Chains A and B, each alone.
Chain A
Amino acid sequence: MTSTYRTAEGGRIDRSTTLGFTFDGEVLTGHPGDTLASALLAAGRHSIATSVKLGRPRGVAGAWAEDPCGLVQIEEPFPEPMLLATTVELFDGLAAHGLPGQGRLADVPDSARYDAVHHHVDVLVIGAGPAGLAAALTAARAGARVALVDEQSEAGGSLLSGTDQLDGVPATAWVEAAVQELAGSPEVLHLQRTTAFGSYDDGFVLALERRTDHLGGAAPEHLSRQRVWRLRARSVVVATGAHERPVVFADNDRPGIMLAGAARTFLHRYGVLPGREAVVFTTNDSAYDAALDLSRAGVRVQAVVDARPDGAPHRRAECDDAGIPVLPGSVVTGTRGVERVTHALVAPLAGGQVGPSSAVACDLLLVSGGWNPAVHLYSQARGRLRYDDELGAFLPGDDVDGLAAAGAAAGVTDLAGCLADGQRVARAALASLPLEPAADDRLPSAPESGTPAAPMVLWRVPDTSGAEGTTSFVDLQRDATVADIARAVGAGLRSIEHVKRYTTIGTAHDQGKTSGVLTSGITAELLGVPVRATGTTTFRPPYTPVSFAALAGRDRGRLFDPERVTAVHGWHVAQGAVFEDVGQWVRPRYYPQPGEDMDAAVLRECAAVRSSVGILDGSTLGKIDVQGPDAAVLLDRVYTNLMSSLEVGSVRYGVMCGVDGMVIDDGTVLRLAEDRFLALTTTGGAAKVLDWMEEWVQTEWPELRVHCTSVTEQWVTFPVVGPRSRDVIGAVFPGVDVANEAFPFMAWRDTTLDGVPVRLARISFSGELAYEVYVNAWYATAVWTRLIDAGRRFGITPYGTETMHVLRAEKGYPIIGQDTDGTVTPHDLGMAWAVSKKKPDFIGKRSFARPANTDPRRKQLVGLLPTDGRTVLPEGSQIVELHPDGVLPPPPVPMLGHVTSSYRSAELGRPFALALVRAGRSRIGETLHVPLAGSLVPVEVTASVLVDPEGARRDG
């Protein structure tokens, strides 16, 4: 394959090695150092894809991330959509094709690894061009801890794209020396292929390092593919350079139309001639370098079309020597060509009027409308931008605390100025640390540039094609045109943010790198206001697209969220338990026997508990150790019940409310000593309740001598439940007198098992005789196994959360957060008995007297029995009341409440539910209805306690 557009020599590519790749199925070659774009251009291929809405052919218009056109999909080695051909480094075996604005995600799992690293520095320099290297050297020489990140494959920035000299030798030699010097500085981290994509408060910057993308299929498996760097710096130097912007004219989107600076990059960096016959259209001096360099490389430059009336007088002689015609006071008004530009239409411009045009043949049309400093990271950190009338660009305004722009990113346009600016900004950063600059931090000297001619600010060339701006593209990726902006303004939009959203300009993959400022300029023109009044849209991260895989890093799959398992998890797994997530906990939901579904398993487990004995792993219950002389005082204030009267050795159920009187958690409290309690919380409420107690102790009652700490992980809890539980406990713990009189309900006793301390508590969440076994988690499996072994002759049945829920619901015990929702008082739950009348105050007490909380129409917890005896009401179902004549009230039908818990009951032989119902307790005995699948299911309202309302079973 001949690379017909490859120069004979030069460029930073390795011509001794050939890489094979395919594009749109065509087999092509390139060299290490190429990008996909440069390799395609070397093969004479400009047309990359068609546009998203209009299907117009589009090519490579830039040389890096500013390119709005050259979108590709990589197929091999791993499918990845929406990449720019200009930023994909070529590797052997690459297979890609052009994309019409939309890509395709891989349908196979990504086997690559992604990770993240935190790094802290004194000075972070973003961009390794002349300003960035100067800043990094200055900071490193002073002994500062430095990070230098740059998005390209090698350092140098704009110096890689030109022919600049420093100290009389090619500037790239200085770049190499600078990189070596930084590599020898122990406190410097230098990362290439690393894009700083987000800049946040207090020197926090996110950067994406592409570690193996450029290696393709040869990437070593042990390396993460991409890495997110979370950088925190005392000072950030934004030396991100500038993006060239085009001028808008009719049919400005054809392949072969390219930014002038991009053509220079392809020539000098990649050894590629982007065409053979070029027209250069410019509003400023910089494009003359492109014209002259391309001419020297053998490109026939047909004309430099300079919109400025006087052109660039100081470049005139060079152009004359090179035989390049210069047309000052002229513009390109349009183009011809389909798959590739064939002609530029050139016309004089005088007094804002475009004269008659003539067609100039070309296969390359270079455009430069000036330079936009890459202020993205500065602006993301809430730096204010100011519009510069002369440059026609938004520049960083005042420095943000700890963040400053340097070089071209700050609007500096010459090499000597960029070096000096980088050093100046770095020295300011050093002064804030504070660090002294090194005695010798000399930078090389750049030749004096001649007196430049002022640029002309020209956003667009009036459309004389008759298309009325409908082919004058502002945002090529969105196919959005001058006509679209005119329509937005015509519709009355004034804010640039509104224009952006109306036209979609700047919302594509490139986020408006070339189109954003153009839109501000054209909108201002159409509105007849200054550009500074229009402003720009907000810059938001990411600067360039970042894959979700990279952002997720290792936090995916099982590592997405911590999984908490109890000390006997392995036993549950071995028993074939089905698990459910309860917050971060993984708990057995039920233990199916062969052939059982969940309903069958739960009915069996429930029956076993109520008829004999079952065992539950309740280790996830929150446990808070409350200690100190004022422990009882604290608990009296946070629980609605009186806890100070609890005797050592006893247990009390308690409810906790917020200051608004609404229930936030519940559980039992064991008094371990005069000055020590163990407070149990719901599984989900454990952290919240500890925080709640801490908050009150620290912020309101610092005088209380009390400390709270979580012991959830330290103690396992195994409720042994059912009429035969006394037999099992008595057999395993012979040192305890389990007789009801010696060990009554709501009492706890300490004992030992083979020398291991064990605590037993007679607490029941099912209404049955029950003992909770507490032991140090280290001994969990041994104790659990003893209980199972001792229970075997009673058919002890392990049960999961589902059975636990059914058993407690049959007894009307609410689950806070399921049967309540933050609007439910203890009284609503029928728990007025748990609210102390003796205590002068506790959290929430005053709210109980608010009229809204004493309203008899409040929703109250009741039981529901579907009268058909078969329907299991879906939780969340609404409850309605029919008129006496049996018809629904007219819409909107009043909703009386909703079903909060609903199960089949083995004990009742029918399904039942708990529900919050308006004035529910006064409706006991009534029939209400639940709309379900197009019909109304009649339900009888009952008390919330449906099984053993007398409490006859709790003592066995």
Chain B
Amino acid sequence: MQLIACPWCGPREEVEFSYGGQAHVPHPAAPADLSDEEWAHYVFFRANPKGRFAERWNHSAGCRRWFNAVRDTATYRFEAVYRLDEPRPVTP
């Protein structure tokens, strides 16, 4: 069982967290202006890379706050956690 470092609470058991999928996919500002295809990309399409992936996480059984993380999907290792208002950090 992994430890995940909540930006507010520090390292906690992974069972306290829930996964929120790909990060940096904002809700379109004006959905009505989008084509069906563009809208479908927002609703249904997400990246699924092997390797580093910026993801949303929620410390759902802790402080209940959302945050972002860069995680390696091949090793499960968290390389960075950052607040929603912070840009994706450059990981080494």
Contacts and interface: CB of A to CB of B under 8 A. Distances in A.
Interface of A: 200-202, 204, 232, 659-660, 691, 694-695, 698-700, 702, 840-841, 845-847, 849-851
A251 to B, nearest CB: 46
Interface of B: 1-3, 11, 20, 26-28, 30-32, 34, 36, 39-40, 42-44, 56, 58, 60, 64-66, 76, 84-85
5 contacts: A201-B1, A204-B2, A841-B31, A845-B31, A846-B39
A200 B1 contact: yes
A200 B1 CA distance: 6
List the 6 shortest-distance A-B pairs measured between CB atoms, nearest first. A846-B31, A201-B2, A202-B3, A698-B66, A204-B1, A846-B39
B26 A700 contact: yes
A695 B1 contact: no
Interface centre among B34, B43, B65, B85 (most CB of A within 10 A): B43
A847 B2 contact: no
Contacts, number: 54
A122 to B, nearest CB: 15
B43 A660 contact: yes
Contacts of B39: 846-847, 850
A850 B56 contact: no
Nearest to B44: A660
A695 B84 contact: no
Contact of A695 (B11, B26, B58): B58
A700 B27 contact: yes
Given A201-B76, A698-B65, A699-B20, 13 more contacts: A200-B2, A201-B2, A202-B2, A232-B3, A660-B43, A695-B20, A695-B58, A698-B66, A698-B84, A700-B27, A845-B31, A845-B32, A846-B32
B75 to A, nearest CB: 8
A828 B75 CA distance: 44
Contacts of B40: 850
A691 B36 CA distance: 28
A698 B58 CA distance: 10
Contacts of B31: 841, 845-846
Contacts of A202: 1-3, 11
Interface centre among A201, A694, A699, A847 (most CB of B within 10 A): A699
Interface centre among A659, A845, A849 (most CB of B within 10 A): A659
Contacts of A659: 27, 42-43
Given A691-B60, A699-B84, A841-B31, A847 B1 contact: no
Nearest to A698: B66
Q: Is the interface of A mostly helix, strand, loop or mixed?
A: helix
Contacts of B30: 841
Given A201-B3, A695-B20, A702-B84, A851 B65 contact: no
A806 B3 CA distance: 48
B34 A846 contact: yes
B36 A851 contact: yes
A691 B64 CA distance: 9
B85 A702 contact: yes
Contacts of B56: 699
A204 B11 CA distance: 13
Contacts of B20: 695, 699
Interface centre among B1, B58, B64 (most CB of A within 10 A): B1
Contacts of A840: 32
A640 to B, nearest CB: 14
A847 B36 CA distance: 8
Given A202-B3, A847-B39, A694 B76 contact: no
A533 B28 CA distance: 52
B72 to A, nearest CB: 13
A699 B66 contact: yes
Contacts of B28: 846
A201 B75 CA distance: 11
A659 B34 CA distance: 14
Nearest to B58: A695
Contacts of A200: 1-2
A792 B28 CA distance: 57
Nearest to B28: A846
Contact of B32 (A695, A698, A699, A841): A841
Contacts of A847: 39, 43
Nearest to A842: B31
B52 to A, nearest CB: 18
Nearest to B60: A691
Contacts of B44: 660
A853 B66 CA distance: 31
A691 B18 CA distance: 11
A697 to B, nearest CB: 9
A202 B64 CA distance: 23
Nearest to A661: B43
A198 B44 CA distance: 38
A897 B2 CA distance: 44
Contacts of A699: 20, 56, 66, 84
B23 to A, nearest CB: 9
A856 B56 CA distance: 37
Contacts of B60: 691
Contacts of B64: 694
Nearest to A847: B43
A943 to B, nearest CB: 31
A702 B65 CA distance: 12
Contacts of B42: 659
A845 B27 CA distance: 12
B21 to A, nearest CB: 11
B40 to A, nearest CB: 7
Contacts of B34: 846
Nearest to B14: A201
B86 to A, nearest CB: 12
A346 B8 CA distance: 70
Contacts of B76: 201
A128 to B, nearest CB: 25
A555 to B, nearest CB: 14
Nearest to B2: A201
A700 B58 CA distance: 14
Interface centre among A204, A660, A846, A851 (most CB of B within 10 A): A846
B4 to A, nearest CB: 9
A204 B1 CA distance: 6
A702 B86 CA distance: 13
A698 B83 CA distance: 11
Nearest to A198: B1
